[in-house]
Chains A and B, each alone.
Chain A
């Protein structure tokens, strides 16, 4: 257990409304990630962070922004939600284990945009 929580766990929102998802970790990990999971696509990286205020885009970043003002929190914002953003969103951290890295995931947030 890497001490990762996500909130909310479930959310239904309307098209055009802003939505913020929160990822919180308790173990001071440097690297944090946001993914979305959709049938037939596996996991796709939205944004990631390699430190406070240091973030970069993943492969499906359009329509999403992120912020990391504290080591423990990584926020994902949908500025104006669309139905195509209906998905399950996972936060993850990456930690070093000897000479390799390992990634651990939160429980996910199921977002429905109507």
Chain B
């Protein structure tokens, strides 16, 4: 079945450091891929998405590229801020299934 695997957290970085959070997936067909962010005490918010191979999703300085050859969708940001501290979830959706599959989440902590 479909699945999403994310790197274990927590990830602790200093402000202005480069961020990578790895995400790989297993899916039949051509899934859409997503990154969600969850701040403390809140629901998940859609951060970015990509719907086909080689698409790059971007938002708020975060980027992720849909790599079909490596079945990956790694999240990157060039310079993190303290306000980026949150839990990040990778997810996929396959058309016709009505269902989204989420990774277990990666906690990011950014120190001033």
Query: B-contacting residues of A (Cβ < 8 Å)?
Result: 31, 33, 40-43, 45, 48, 50, 56, 58, 90, 92, 94, 99-108
Contact = CB atoms under 8 A, between A and B. Distances in A.
A42 B43 contact: no
A69 B99 CA distance: 21
A43 B100 CA distance: 10
A31 B98 contact: yes
B20 interface: no
Contact of B46 (A31, A99, A103): A103
Interface of B: 32, 34, 36, 42-46, 49, 51, 89, 91, 93, 95, 98-100, 102-105
Nearest to A56: B98
Contact of A41 (B45, B49, B91, B104): B104
Main secondary structure of the interface of A (DSSP, over half): strand
A82 B13 CA distance: 39
A42 B49 contact: no
A9 B32 CA distance: 31
Contact of B98 (A41, A48, A107): A48
Contacts of A45: 99-100
14 contacts: A31-B98, A42-B103, A42-B104, A42-B105, A58-B99, A90-B43, A90-B44, A92-B44, A101-B32, A102-B34, A102-B46, A104-B46, A105-B45, A107-B43
